[in-house]
Amino acid sequence: MGFEPPWEYQYRACSLLCPYLHSLNTSADLSKAVVLLDPQWNHVLTNDRVTLKCQGDYPVEDNSTKWWHNGTLISSQTPSYFIADVKVQDSGEYKCQTGLSALSDPVKLEVHVGWLLLQVAQRVVNVGKPIRLKCHSWKKTPVAKVQYFRNGRGKKYSHGNSDFHIPEAKLEHSGSYFCRGIIGSKNESSESVQITVQAPETLQTVSSFFLPWHQITFCLVMGVLFAVDTGLYFSVWRHLQSSEEWRDGKVTWSKGP
């Protein structure tokens, strides 16, 4: 009689578990729908026009789309959700889902009240990536003598209203930004926006430190199986060694009556 060592149990266990784990990995990789903003800014002023577009896979001749606002299903079922004049109550998280796509990640829309708003494409930017700032006015009211500030110091001035563009971000570009301009006879300023520039390897290090949940599950299951199988293996081995039927490291069999 031969006994399989623990690694043989491991191999057989893996042959049973791997297809299951592969199915989990496949389901985790299902394509998600994506919510896009048009214009791209997720910080807007009241009365702005905003269009949210849902990108995903649709069944043939069926482009019906589900939309959620702050977790509540809304009536629109079109691929694009259009808001003609946004109000403060339109602020919040938006999600969408198509017939052949998983539920999207949330996109946050913030609606502010004021004359000027500093719009930023991203508040967290990797080194080397561009930074684009826009001094946006309520109802696109003309603004003159626009100036951009970082940490209280002026960085760009224009007689009209032009965007502030940094082609390649550096760590020293992190800081608090706002814009100021003349509307009519009034000197108006936007609220401050904090922009953080970080080294890209920071994100890679953090993400690589954590394994996907299905890999963690696999490791835990295989560890438990190995411990149990090893214990059983050596328990049977000791039992056979102590039995009378053990001869020269072999098991002898006797016929029954």
| pLDDT tens sequence across 47-76 | 999 999 999 999 998 999 999 999 999 999
Condensed to tens digits (0 to 9), the pLDDT of residues 187-214 reads 999 999 999 999 987 544 444 444 555 5
Round to whole Å and give the CA distance between 93 and 42.
Answer: 10
Chain segment 69-78, per-residue pLDDT in tens: 999 999 999 9
For residue 180, what are the CA distances in angstroms to 47, 175, 190, 248? 21, 17, 6, 93
Q: At which residue do the structure tokens 């508040």 appear?
A: 123
CA dist., res. 1 & res. 236, Å (int): 12
Maximum Cα–Cα distance for the chain, whole Å?
A: 115
Q: What percent of the chain has pLDDT over 90?
A: 65
- Nearest CA to 181 out of 215, 223, 154, 148 is that of 148
Contact 157, 146 (CB under 8 A): yes
d(CA 191, CA 174): 16
What one-letter code names the amino acid at 78? T
Least confident of 4-13, 57-66, 174-183, 210-219: 4-13
Give dist(CA 177, CA 157) in Å, integer: 14
pLDDT at 250 exceeding the cut of 70:
no
**Which position has the higher pLDDT, 164 or 26?**
164
pLDDT at 2 over 80: no
Higher pLDDT, 187 or 22: 187
> Rounded to an integer, what distance in angstroms lies between the CA atom of residue 196 and that of residue 123?
6
Q: Which pLDDT belongs to residue 108?
A: 97
pLDDT category of residue 136 using cuts at 50, 70 and 90? very high
Summarize the chain as % helix, strand, coil (round to 5).
30, 35, 35
Contact at 8 Å (CB) between 112 and 138? no
pLDDT of residue 200: 81
Parallel, antiparallel or unpaired: strands 107-112 and 92-97: antiparallel
The whole-model pTM stands at 0.67
Statement: residue 240 has pLDDT above 90: no
What local confidence, expressed as pLDDT, does residue 25 receive? 47
Left (φ > 0), alpha (ψ -120 to 50) or beta: where does 224 sit? Answer: alpha
DSSP code, position 160 = S
pLDDT in tens, 145-158: 999 999 999 999 99
